[in-house]
Amino acid sequence: MSAANAALARATRLKDEFLASMSHELRTPLTGILAFAQALQKQIYGPLTEKQLNSLKSIEDSGKHLLELINDILDLSKIEAGMMELEIGLVSAEEICQASLRLIKQMAQAKRQDVAYRLSPLDLRLLADNRRLKQMLVNLLSNAVKFTPEGGSLGLEVEGDSRQEAVRFTVWDTGVGIAGEDMPRLFQSFVQLDSRLSRRYAGTGLGLALVRRMAELHGGGVAVESEVGKGSRFTIALPWNLPPRIDPADRLAQRGAPRSAGGDHPMRLVKLAQARRPRLLLAEDTETTITLLSDYLEAEGYELIVARSGSEAIQKAREVSPDLILMDVQMPGMDGLETMQRIRQESALAATPMIALTALAMPGDRERCLAAGANDYLTKPVNLEGLAQTIRGKLPAPEEGV
C-alpha cells in the first residue's frame, strides 16, 4: 500500500514537472511569434501593404488565442492534479471588481456596451485568492461582452449575504442566452455549445470549467440562470464567514497538510473521551472544503471520516458504517451521483442518510441528486449553520461538551 502511494506521489510530481516545463517550452517560441508579429505591424522593418498588415494581425490574434489556451490548460491540469494552491488573504471586493472591470472596458467600449456595477456593502472584504478571484470575474465578464450584441448592456453585482454566510458575484448579460438542454455541458472542459457560435465567438472552451473549479477550490460554487434570447446570469458564491472557534490563520496554515492528532485542540480530546459521537463520512475532493467542513463539524461534536474520491467513499462506507454521508457531487473519476447510486445498492447502507453537496446550482440538480439516492441536497458554499441543522434533522443530537 505504501509502495503504491509512493509510486502515485512520484507520478504526480512528474506530471507537475512536465506541465511546468511544457508551459515554458510552449510559451517561449510563442512570445517570439507575438513580438515579431507586433513589430512588423508597427512597420519598424519597413512599410507594408494592407493585405500584409491584415495577415500579421491574424498571426497575432491566433498567437494570443493559443497563449490563452496554453494558460487555461495548465491551470486546469494543475487543479485536476490537486496542484493549484490558493494564496488566500483578506481582499477588498471593490478593488478586485474595479481591476476586473478595467480589463474588459476596452472590449465593451468597442461594442458600445453599457457596463453596470453594484456592490453592497461598499466595504465588503472576504478571504480569497486575489489573483484567482479576478481571473474568475474577468472570465465571466469577457463572456458577457462576447455574447451580448453591440449596444447591449451587462453588469457585475456583488452582494454580501450574512445570513447565508456567502458573498455572491453575479455577472449578467443581455446576450444570446443558453438553452436548458445545454446547461449540463456548460461547465465541461473544451465544450463550446454550438459549433456555429464557437466560430462567431472565439474562446478556449475552458473558461467556465476553470471558473467552476476555482470557485470549488475556494469552498464555493457557481450557479447559472439563463433564457434564450434574453441573457444569462452567472453567480459565483464564495463562503464569507468563518466557522466559530477556529482562528482563520490556523485554519489556512493547515490547509492541505495532513491532520495530526498532535495538533488537536484540548477541547477535542475531551470530546473523544465521551461516548461514541455520531460518525459522518465526508466524500469531497477539495482540500479547502474538507478542512472547513471537518473543523466545523468536529467542533460541533461529530466524528469525521474523509474520503477524497467516489471509490474511496464506497470503501470507507463499508468499513466504518457511518451514521450519515455528506457527498460532494462534482468529483473527478466517479462523481457523487454514481457514488450515491452504488452506495444505495449495498444492503448494509441502503438506509444511511445521505446529503448531496453541489457547487454548481443548475435546474434539475435537486431531482438528479434525489434520484441517485440522496435524502437531501445543499448548494455550496455550504451555510455551516444550515448544514448542522440538516444533519441534526437526520440524526440524534450529538452529546454536549463538558
Contact set with Mn ion (CB under 5 A)? 285, 328, 330-331
What is the rounded radius of gyration, in angstroms, for the C-alpha atoms of the chain? Answer: 24
The grid cell for 393 is 434533522
The SS3 call for residue 108 is helix
Provide the 10 A C-beta neighbour count for residue 147.
21
Write down the least CB distance from residue 328 to Mn ion, Å. 4
Q: Fill in the amino acid letter for 64.
A: K
Residue nearest Mn ion by beta-carbon distance? 330
Q: Cβ closer to Mn ion: 187 or 296?
A: 187
Write down the least CB distance from residue 350 to Mn ion, Å. 25
Q: Cβ closer to Mn ion: 138 or 306?
A: 306
Task: Please report the sign of the dihedral spanned by the C-alpha atoms of residue 41, residue 42, residue 45, residue 51.
Answer: positive
Q: Of 205, 200, 201, 202, which Cα lies nearest the Cα of 185? A: 205
Q: Which residue has the cell 476596452?
A: 106
The grid cell for 372 is 441517485
Q: Fill in the amino acid letter for 15.
A: K
Name, in order, each residue with C-beta under 8 angstroms of 125's C-beta and a sequence gap of 6 or more.
Answer: 90, 91, 92, 93
Write down the least CB distance from residue 254 to Mn ion, Å. 20
Write down the least CB distance from residue 273 to Mn ion, Å. 34
Q: Cβ closer to Mn ion: 174 or 330?
A: 330
CA-to-CA distance for 187 and 189, rounded, in angstroms?
Answer: 7
Q: Which residue has the cell 466559530?
A: 244
Q: Cβ closer to Mn ion: 97 or 293?
A: 293
Rounded to the nearest 5°, which phi and psi values hold at 169? -105, 110
Q: Cβ closer to Mn ion: 147 or 377?
A: 377
Write down the least CB distance from residue 331 to Mn ion, Å. 5
Burial class (CB in 10 A: 0-12, 13-18, 19+), 290: buried
Write down the least CB distance from residue 341 to Mn ion, Å. 17
Q: Cβ closer to Mn ion: 255 or 277?
A: 255
Q: Cβ closer to Mn ion: 173 or 328?
A: 328
H or E, element range at 13: helix 2-41
